[in-house]
Chain A
Amino acid sequence: MTGLFRIAFKLLVNDRSKFTALLVGITFAVFLMVMMMSMFSGILSRSCAPVYNIGAKVWVMDPAVNNTVSSIPMPDYVLSSARSIKGVSYAVPLYYGGAQVKLRNGSYQSVTVIGLDDTTLFGRPELIEGRIEDIFAENGFLVVKDAEYSKLGSPPIGSELEINDNRASVVGIAKVASSGLFGVPTLYTTFSRAITYIPTTRFTTSFVLIEPRSTGDIPGIQREIARLGYEALTRQQFVDKITAFYTYKTGMGTNILLMTSISFLVGLSISGQTFYTFILENLEKFGAMKAIGAKGRELVTMILFQAFFTSLTGYGLGVGAASSFMLLMRMRMPDYAAQLTFSILGFALLMVTIIAGVSSYIGVRKVLQIQPFDIFRG
């Protein structure tokens, strides 16, 4: 069979114009599909970044909350009640809000301020400079050193910022697993300082973070929180809720789905059309091979090999082009939100397999239909 594969390979690649058209079509389609899905995946990942960065196992919130940014402050009794629920190891408040930082040059920069429980500092980031206990010092703030850090003028430890006419001293430089979605720098401080510095509503707790005694206690905790009229979600449930919000309620998911579908159709039409032309051009020769003694399944194998070889080569080139593009973009724009995951690679491979399958199906039908007698008859 290897000899037949070589014949099939040579028939394919020696027809340079069609092979190039096939490769360009599939590569372009894969590039677009991978880019669309990677951007969406990047956006979703960024939108869930605070959930991962803070790392609590159970998050308590108002049921109307769809993401970390649009938190609805809760009364203090929610925290107290949570602490008294059976199976709760401990529960802490979290402040999550936005503020304006006045920079040294007089301009303002939006920031996200995260206020950690004063006692435990639960959810604190990893420090790369400074000491965590300095957060308790007067006006102490930690600045996250991510792609947005430079928007604050890359403040070193000891520098000062101005938040709502309050002085904020940078006492530590932190790093987090992932930056947020909206391209603003992140500051960490204590819960009490956050609600002092930033104007808040009557209630101040954005989220209650719960550490359950065991995973088995979570359903009971969720039931008890629900009786209070609030919602307790595990980390994954909260991530899913945020993902569902951006996917289905913002139009973002629909647009990405449309673009991915269009890319698939572009690839399918270019590949299908070109491959069909390729088969048509060689149809009589395949008929002649049948007359010589080639079996139908041998010709089908040749065609499948050609279709899958082209598709997988196009897939490799498309993925390579997309990842190179993302790498290039990230070099120029550090906060570029696109991430290539194994599931995206798998999905793109599935789409390419469908393209190859459909393209070869058309060819296979034609080749199986051609009769050696048609060759004699002309």
Chain B
Amino acid sequence: MGDCVIRASKLAKWFGEGDARTIAVRDADFEVRYGEMLYIVGPSGSGKTTLLSMISGILKPNGGQVTIEGRDIWAMTDDELADLRLKKIGFVFQDYHLFPRLTTLENVAIPLILKKMEWNEAMRNALQYLEIVGLKERAELQPVKLSGGEQQRVAIARAIAGQPDILIFDEPTASLDGDTGRKIVEFIKTRILNDKRCVIIVTHDSRIYEYADTIMKMEDGRITGLETNHLHEK
């Protein structure tokens, strides 16, 4: 594995005040390295999504620090954070969140358009990423005409189109059958992950644990275990 890309220290997040205060994450310390596939696992309400949101610059922590390539992301302005997410982080949401009125190609091109790339060039580039996920021939279809697995792959193509260093997947197999889910994760492992990129997956689908390099277990907002999968150590 390569250098450390994300480092979280003493991360804490709570919602509400006084008696209504709910602690979502407490004292979270961990790091993610280039080339690593990290799973964050745990039951519902254990703080996985909150932790993921804090390390990806979406949800401000109440305490602690997150650095990406050595820069404290929560010391940045909103615009700097947005730029960081655009350039460094790729998201694949649980429900994909593809625009149903745009074509598959246009959906994939969104990060490129946000990067101010010229329209035709963005479309050409997006097509290459669709080719990577094996959906080049579906470029002009609207997402609703694709299967769940195909939509997932479009979301992956959109996430990698901006050439991010960090890829974040929120429950990537939750809406897929077991076989398709495994194929998707295998695809991520073999085709998307590389030495210059890390992948963080939030899941509680134990059927895909075998693909993880590291599994971080969470319960009641705490990190209760950090296991390295020696079968996949590089």
Contacts and interface: CB of A to CB of B under 8 A. Distances in A.
A376 B200 CA distance: 14
B82 A294 contact: yes
Given A2-B119, A7-B102, A375 B97 contact: yes
Contacts of B113: 3-4, 6-7
B93 A375 contact: yes
A11 B118 contact: no
Contacts of A282: 99
B101 A14 contact: yes
A10 B170 contact: no
B97 A7 contact: no
Interface string B82-105: 111111010101110111011000
A165 interface: no
Interface in B47-96: 49, 52-53, 56, 58-59, 78-79, 82-87, 89, 91, 93-95
Q: Give the size range of B's interface with the partner.
A: 35 or more
A11 B101 contact: yes
A218 B122 CA distance: 70
A373 B114 contact: no
B6 interface: no
B91 A291 contact: yes
A292 B111 contact: yes
A133 interface: no
A11 B99 contact: yes
A291 B101 contact: no
B129 to A, nearest CB: 14
B106 interface: yes
A295 B99 contact: no
A293 B53 contact: no
Interface string B101-138: 11000100011011011110010000000000000000
Interface residues of A, number: 31
A289 B114 contact: yes
Residue from A7, A296, A371, A378 having most chain B Cβ neighbours under 10 A:
A7
Given A11-B101, A284-B97, A376-B58, A292 B91 contact: yes
A293 B114 contact: yes
B85 A288 contact: no
Contact of B49 (A3, A4, A289, A377): A377
B58 A3 contact: no
A372 B58 contact: yes
Contacts of A298: 114
Contacts of A366: none
Residue from B78, B99, B122 having most chain A Cβ neighbours under 10 A:
B99
Contacts of B170: 376
A179 B114 CA distance: 60
Nearest to A284: B97
A298 B95 CA distance: 23
Interface in B137-179: 158, 162, 170
Contact of B101 (A15, A284, A289): A15
Contact of A10 (B49, B82, B102): B102
30 contacts: A3-B113, A3-B118, A4-B114, A6-B119, A7-B102, A7-B113, A11-B101, A14-B101, A15-B101, A288-B91, A288-B93, A289-B110, A289-B114, A291-B58, A291-B93, A292-B85, A292-B114, A292-B162, A293-B84, A293-B85, A293-B114, A293-B162, A295-B78, A298-B114, A371-B59, A372-B58, A376-B49, A376-B58, A376-B93, A376-B94
